[in-house]
Amino acid sequence: MEAVTIGRPVQISRTNAEQDDLSLVNASRNGDAAAFSELVKRYDRKVLRIAIKVTQNIGDAEEAVQEAFFKAYQRLGQFREHAKFSTWLVRIVLNESFMKLRKSQAGARFVNYEGESDSGALPLDVTDWRPSPETLYCSSEFREILISSLQKLTPALKAVFVLRDIEEYSLAETAEILNLTSTSARTRLSRARLKIREELSKYFKKPE
């Protein structure tokens, strides 16, 4: 009978990029400033795009990203190696972006993106239209319309829509970034898409 090894730790399968990120994180923890600079170069453009889509203000987005990298560096000791650095970083960038948005909308009703309830009825009777919101976002003709519609979403719905339909993260990645279950992420995404459609339907209604 073959011997059975018990208690051997399970090895986490990582892509080369993830493993490289982890090596850079570990080097940064040990005081290697060049290693952290490499992480900044690797992700600054991606997270800036996300911050711009959340804040709709380049200056606020740049500040949010700068503060996010600073906080990420300060909190490297809190990073858990079973997670992806990119996921952890995007979560910090979203937090900083929504903080900027909250300050710019001082006095307005604001809900943190982690505090959105997943209960409640979804909007119904939305005019059908084509193309989809994500396709429209690439069209200069409708870009401003969609941006205006995005601004009317709550932070919770805006976060999931930006990550899934604009930045094209998978549903699983979106849920991981936002600390949600896949079911909650899917519910919020459905609500966000329907609200966007509800807004955009004003421009696609056929004349009676």
pLDDT band for position 8 (50/70/90)? very low
What is the structure's pLDDT at 146?
78
pLDDT score for 6: 36
Q: How many CB atoms lie within 10 A of CB 91?
A: 19
The reported pTM is 0.74
User: Given this model, what pLDDT does residue 129 score?
Assistant: 39
pLDDT at 191: 93
At 134-170, the pLDDT tens digits run 555 555 666 777 788 888 899 999 999 999 999 999 9
CATH class of the domain at 133-204: mainly alpha
Start-to-end Cα distance in the chain: 80
Q: Which whole number is the average pLDDT over 111-122?
A: 47
Lowest mean pLDDT: which of 1-15, 62-76, 160-174, 176-190?
1-15
The pLDDT of residue 112: 47
| Count of alpha carbons within 13 angstroms of residue 172, beta-carbon side | 1
Query: How confident is the model over 34-45, as pLDDT tens digits?
Result: 999 999 999 999
DSSP 142: H
| Structure confidence at residue 76 (pLDDT) | 94
Distance of CA 12 to CAs 18, 83, 174, Å? Answer: 11, 10, 20
pLDDT tens readout for residues 78-93: 998 888 999 999 999 9
> Span 16-104: which CATH code?
1.10.1740.10
Q: Provide the residue ranges of all domains of the chain, joining segments of one domain with +.
A: 16-104, 133-204
Percentage of the chain beyond pLDDT 70 is 72
Higher pLDDT, 177 or 101: 177
